[in-house]
Chains A and B, each alone.
Chain A
């Protein structure tokens, strides 16, 4: 029996493999029993999304491929954060620190154990992130609201300094630089290295999203939503408060560190300055911009992280401004977009889009209002 106080609407995590807009209009599941299972359903979405990414990268050049890969890994990072913030209601300002863990785990493996297969490296980086998430989650499970935010903030500020403390192992402020394997030989000519890396990143990201969506649609997701809405009521109904919170933290950290590992793999670098406080804040701000409570929100957030910054930088260079203004314009631009979107649509881009499409389908949404 499932002692849940809330109904878990299947649609809550429905557009799991958020990738291409047309996918949203595909028929809803439910024709056949096998398709009803969340894992199968999400898996099919993921396969479709991966095919779309492969087609997209085949049509574009290496620079766009790099951006596509960037969107993929940020999607995974934000989706992990969305699972923590949107589903379990724990606000973390330190998500970038888990990307740091994954990135350095991957970097160290590539540098020191070059023979290790990529997938094993990803798995190890994910495991390292989960472990870090377990430690942090266990330490912060009793904290709420601003106290939790403060504790995780400390993580974002402090953790990257580890690289400076151990310069011989972690390369200090310069970080680590390395070359990673490109497209396999039998694809030579058909797929270039950057394209291959984009596809690998999206494969990893989509596997991560399937896990997140499935976990969110299942018992754990119900527990977490119950906790988020009213911890006392959830506890009275038999939800294991502490364990559910820590599990959410572990899963979220795993997604974050996988994203970091993908970044290390794509860029061939791990540098402490990349994973500073601003990254953690950008991830959270972008999630709010994209829309809390849905994996589609994470997709819009990832797009915003990659492309709003590009647009802001280009704007700064197009206008002939002084250095001080140019330095800050991309950030101000992002902030202006964020404020505008949230003022106009409090539930973010995803909220706006689902309001637009409401006449077509109005699934029961319990997750979006908080």
Chain B
């Protein structure tokens, strides 16, 4: 048979012609240029009696089991504030929209929040893969982007993202503090890394390597979404790692603990702040053990676990005024699940926002909110200083290290310290924390 070449070429010719026409009228697809900066002297989302804020949160999907508690905590604080007269007489409407930890959905729900719900600010948008897809949009639209729930380094970039203010201690800072502590306390030990195969792992490893380069004997990675980590644990055991540093989310810390117990491998486990909440871990360990049909007290697996923290830990029964305050709020406005450090994470975000909103004055605008935030000093409820200045938006700038003893609770093994995410040293720090009653909207009641 013969194909008529002219005929066959026609659709292609038409398509190329159309594309060429389009090309003629276009500048570069990536040349977004410097548009006029958005007007910040507006009070979008603020009415006489409400302030509407929003966040994208994984209420369903793979990240939901641990992290859905964050918005529960934040909501409880806002409910408490609203029940006690609000901020300058306005109640806070908090819209936690479900993005299922799917970046495509994040883009959609964020646009809904900004365009339809007209939020005043985004507070606590969760996740690096998700929030990194909307940070440009929020900054272009002039929406203050406060306290993203992620330890990525990119939130602290005032040049590129003038409206973004970080919250969580970044992965490099926290692993520097962990690295220094391990190099001092376990000077002769061989160290293995268990890293999540994304920016969490990369940024954490950079901090650890500054102190542990010579002690590290193995670096293992897992993919987020993987079902088990048995191969990685087996390798760590084979390389003789006596200390295992885990830059992992709680799910994989629990899997690592279970797997090493199963093969009789007993290294000293150290986790970064994202994976060390023992309340969450206990829940995960119980449910994994249930699935496997084996018994065992979750506490046995957790015994000796060392973790970095920067907020007052709920497991530490030392009468911390903020933990007691949060417990009271959670009992009244929270849900059935036990209050965990993840809940507190969301509660502290809410407190920091309430503080800034109050300081923004009787008639807040986006500009006055930013100004209030930048002039704020101190730590809020945290145990290390909180950076939200014009040049440094790193959020919590360090941490302390705790060790979990089965049956005993937490013991602090390294006092609060701060550092930077470059070559700087780790230095001890003390903060002068406000008490809950020092913060206006939290004290009326």
Known A61-B116, A63-B115, A172-B198: A207·B19 in contact at CB below 8 Å:
yes
Q: Is the interface of B mostly helix, strand, loop or mixed?
A: helix
Near A by CB (< 8 A), chain B positions 55-87 give 59-61, 64-65, 68
**What residues of chain B lie closer than 8 Å to A214, measured between beta carbons?**
10-11, 14
> How does the 8 Å CB contact mask read for A288-309 relative to B, with 1 for contact and 0 for none?
0000000000000000000000
Known A173-B129, A215-B11: A62·B22 in contact at CB below 8 Å:
no
Q: Does B32 contact A (CB under 8 A)?
A: yes
CA distance A116 to B104 in the complex (A): 24
A180–B32 touching, CB < 8 Å: yes
Across the A-B interface, the 5 shortest Cβ-Cβ residue pairs: A114-B30, A119-B23, A119-B22, A118-B29, A115-B28
CA distance A271 to B32 in the complex (A): 21
Besides A116-B29, A177-B132, A323-B59, 9 other CB < 8 A contacts? A39-B10, A114-B29, A122-B22, A172-B197, A172-B199, A175-B103, A269-B133, A271-B104, A274-B104
> How does the 8 Å CB contact mask read for A268-300 relative to B, with 1 for contact and 0 for none?
110101100000000000000000000000000
User: Which of B4, B10, B14, B60 lies at the interface centre, i.e. has the most chain A CB atoms within 10 A of its CB?
Assistant: B60
**What residues of chain B lie closer than 8 Å to A317, measured between beta carbons?**
59, 98
Nearest chain B residue, comparing its CB with the CB of A61: B115
Q: Does A218 contact B (CB under 8 A)?
A: yes
Q: Does B292 contact A (CB under 8 A)?
A: no
CA distance A208 to B3 in the complex (A): 22
A326–B60 touching, CB < 8 Å: yes
Query: What is the interface of chain B, defined by CB distance below 8 A to chain A?
Result: 1, 3-4, 7-8, 10-12, 14-16, 18-20, 22-23, 25-32, 59-61, 64-65, 68, 98, 100, 102-104, 107-108, 111-112, 115-116, 128-129, 132-133, 135-137, 140, 197-199, 202, 223-225
CA distance A177 to B135 in the complex (A): 9
Q: Does A146 contact B (CB under 8 A)?
A: no
Q: List 5 A-B contacts (CB under 8 A).
A: A39-B10, A117-B22, A123-B19, A184-B27, A214-B14
B132–A174 touching, CB < 8 Å: yes
A273–B103 touching, CB < 8 Å: yes
B64–A323 touching, CB < 8 Å: yes
CA distance A39 to B135 in the complex (A): 43
**What residues of chain A lie closer than 8 Å to B223, measured between beta carbons?**
164, 173
A327–B60 touching, CB < 8 Å: yes
**What residues of chain B lie closer than 8 Å to A174, measured between beta carbons?**
128-129, 132, 198-199
Known A172-B199, A207-B19: A114·B132 in contact at CB below 8 Å:
no
Contact check: which of B30, B61, B65, B115 meets A113 at CB < 8 Å? B30
**What residues of chain B lie closer than 8 Å to A269, measured between beta carbons?**
103-104, 107, 133
B8–A220 touching, CB < 8 Å: yes
B30–A167 touching, CB < 8 Å: no
CA distance A48 to B12 in the complex (A): 21
CA distance A114 to B27 in the complex (A): 9
Contact check: which of B60, B102, B135 meets A274 at CB < 8 Å? B102
Nearest chain B residue, comparing its CB with the CB of A207: B18
CA distance A122 to B20 in the complex (A): 11
**What residues of chain A lie closer than 8 Å to B65, measured between beta carbons?**
323
Nearest chain A residue, comparing its CB with the CB of B33: A181
- Cβ distance B140 to chain A, nearest Cβ, rounded Å: 8
**What residues of chain B lie closer than 8 Å to A39, measured between beta carbons?**
10-11, 14
- Cβ distance B288 to chain A, nearest Cβ, rounded Å: 15
CA distance A167 to B223 in the complex (A): 12
Query: What is the interface of chain A, defined by CB distance below 8 A to chain B?
Result: 1, 3, 39, 43, 61-63, 66, 106, 109-111, 113-123, 164, 167, 172-175, 177-182, 184, 194, 203, 207-208, 210-211, 214-215, 218-220, 238-240, 263, 265, 267-269, 271, 273-274, 313, 316-317, 323, 326-327
**What residues of chain A lie closer than 8 Å to B224, measured between beta carbons?**
173
**What residues of chain A lie closer than 8 Å to B103, measured between beta carbons?**
175, 267, 269, 271, 273-274
CA distance A63 to B115 in the complex (A): 7
B136–A177 touching, CB < 8 Å: yes
Nearest chain A residue, comparing its CB with the CB of B199: A174
- Cβ distance B260 to chain A, nearest Cβ, rounded Å: 25
**What residues of chain A lie closer than 8 Å to B18, measured between beta carbons?**
207
Nearest chain B residue, comparing its CB with the CB of A254: B15
CA distance A181 to B32 in the complex (A): 5
**What residues of chain B lie closer than 8 Å to A121, measured between beta carbons?**
29
B8–A219 touching, CB < 8 Å: yes
CA distance A286 to B224 in the complex (A): 28
Q: Is the interface of A mostly helix, strand, loop or mixed?
A: helix
CA distance A215 to B9 in the complex (A): 10
**What residues of chain A lie closer than 8 Å to B98, measured between beta carbons?**
313, 317
Known A3-B1, A177-B133, A316-B60: A167·B115 in contact at CB below 8 Å:
no
- Cβ distance B343 to chain A, nearest Cβ, rounded Å: 15
B115–A62 touching, CB < 8 Å: yes
**What residues of chain B lie closer than 8 Å to A194, measured between beta carbons?**
111
B26–A175 touching, CB < 8 Å: no
User: Which of A106, A265, A271 lies at the interface centre, i.e. has the most chain B CB atoms within 10 A of its CB?
Assistant: A271
Nearest chain B residue, comparing its CB with the CB of A112: B30
CA distance A106 to B30 in the complex (A): 10
B7–A219 touching, CB < 8 Å: yes
Known A117-B23, A118-B26: A207·B15 in contact at CB below 8 Å:
yes
CA distance A323 to B100 in the complex (A): 11
CA distance A123 to B23 in the complex (A): 10
- Cβ distance B153 to chain A, nearest Cβ, rounded Å: 12
A43–B108 touching, CB < 8 Å: no
B30–A181 touching, CB < 8 Å: yes
CA distance A203 to B22 in the complex (A): 10
- Cβ distance B62 to chain A, nearest Cβ, rounded Å: 9
**What residues of chain A lie closer than 8 Å to B128, measured between beta carbons?**
174
**What residues of chain B lie closer than 8 Å to A63, measured between beta carbons?**
108, 111-112, 115-116
CA distance A271 to B102 in the complex (A): 9
Known A177-B132, A274-B103: A167·B197 in contact at CB below 8 Å:
yes
**What residues of chain B lie closer than 8 Å to A182, measured between beta carbons?**
32
A323–B60 touching, CB < 8 Å: yes
CA distance A303 to B140 in the complex (A): 30
A267–B30 touching, CB < 8 Å: no
A219–B133 touching, CB < 8 Å: no
Nearest chain A residue, comparing its CB with the CB of B117: A63
**What residues of chain A lie closer than 8 Å to B68, measured between beta carbons?**
323
- Cβ distance A296 to chain B, nearest Cβ, rounded Å: 20
Nearest chain A residue, comparing its CB with the CB of B114: A62
- Cβ distance B9 to chain A, nearest Cβ, rounded Å: 11
Known A114-B31, A273-B102: A184·B129 in contact at CB below 8 Å:
no
CA distance A207 to B1 in the complex (A): 29
- Cβ distance A134 to chain B, nearest Cβ, rounded Å: 15
Nearest chain B residue, comparing its CB with the CB of A326: B60
B64–A327 touching, CB < 8 Å: yes
CA distance A323 to B60 in the complex (A): 6
**What residues of chain A lie closer than 8 Å to B100, measured between beta carbons?**
327
**What residues of chain B lie closer than 8 Å to A164, measured between beta carbons?**
197, 223
**What residues of chain A lie closer than 8 Å to B140, measured between beta carbons?**
179
B29–A180 touching, CB < 8 Å: yes
Known A271-B133, A274-B104: A118·B15 in contact at CB below 8 Å:
no
